Amino acid sequence: MDVAKAFQNAGEVAGKEHWTKKGDVNLFLWQKTTVPAGKEKGTILFVHGSSMAAQPTFDLVVPGRADSSPMDYFAKLGYDVWTVDMEGYGRSDKNRDMKAFIADGADDLKAATDYIMKTTGAKKFLAYGISSGALRAALFTQRHPERIARLALDAFVWLGTGSPTLAERKKRLPEFQSKNRRDIDEAFVFSVFNRDHKGCADDATIKAFADYILALDDSMPTGTYIDMCANLPVIDPTKIPVPTVVMRGEFDGIASEEDLLAFYAKLTNPEKQFSIMPGISHASFQQKNYKIVYHILKSFFEQPAPVFTGH
């Protein structure tokens, strides 16, 4: 079965698969758009997290759930919308002996943006990352700030201060360090939604999410878990010079408000925002309040550039 076609929304939005190389590694990219190249509002790059590939996270269609796919939603607004499976995830290669650390993900984003820029002529990206995807997007921005117009960090963690999720995860750190991949199943996917605050997402959405994740993967790399348990900080906020929004679900256990505010205070660009998303735990696009996430991103991506900076 072609999983991408089976789950693709057969609507007005056009979806197209792409492939590129990172050295000898094949990386899968997925594009959604409604407009000809060069006519779009801008190019959005969505970056997935530790435990699910790109398409389940950003292109999940659930019957009866309006605008369920963030890729479709932003494509309908006139954006050229892209996402990429990191090495070790989804349809990208999984055959190398490696754990897929956050730095490896930043390398994947370099290869992906190289391809998108060459293919479409895009000069800069509106980047959104969630959980370890936020860390990947932030590290890529540190390395290549010239490629990022605006950066959205959702379910982000800096030092890990006050994180109950990471405190529990650290108990299994030796296990994660001993192997390259960890098994996942439907119960694991449901645990992502139930560990912080039950009821933030409906069961039908979680079930559809789990089905799509497990159609692509039955295990995930351990590298991002190791980084988040043992190697924080991996990001230096003083080296992120672009407009940035830090987004935190009210009930998200991956990072405390204290941790994120300390990070936010060190961002050097005066055009920065900090947004608490009510009624949301960790996987924000699959929550009941997902339209709040859309509103924050749309407003941030479309904020006018300042005509006076004081400099």
**Domain housing 127:** 3-301
Residue 57 within a domain? yes
pLDDT at position 179: 98
Residue 116 within a domain? yes
Strands (E), the chain: 14-22, 25-33, 43-47, 80-84, 125-130, 148-154, 181-183, 219-221, 244-249, 272-277
Residue 258 within a domain? yes
Q: Percentage of residues in the chain with pLDDT exceeding 70?
A: 96
pLDDT band of residue 8 (cuts 50, 70, 90) is very low
181-214 pLDDT tens trace: 999 999 999 999 999 999 999 999 999 999 999 9
Structurally, how many domains does the chain consist of?
Answer: 1
Strand order in the sheet with 25-33: 14-22, 25-33, 80-84, 43-47, 125-130, 148-154, 244-249, 272-277
Average pLDDT over residues 72-82: 95
221: cis peptide before it, omega within 30°? no
Tell me which residue of 5, 96, 91 sits closest to 48, measured CA to CA: 91
Residue 252 within a domain? yes
Residue 307 within a domain? no
Residue 145 within a domain? yes
CATH number of the structural domain spanning residue 228: 3.40.50.1820
Residue 260 within a domain? yes
Q: Is the model's pLDDT at 2 over the cut of 60?
A: no
* DSSP conformational letter for 241: -
Residue 251 within a domain? yes
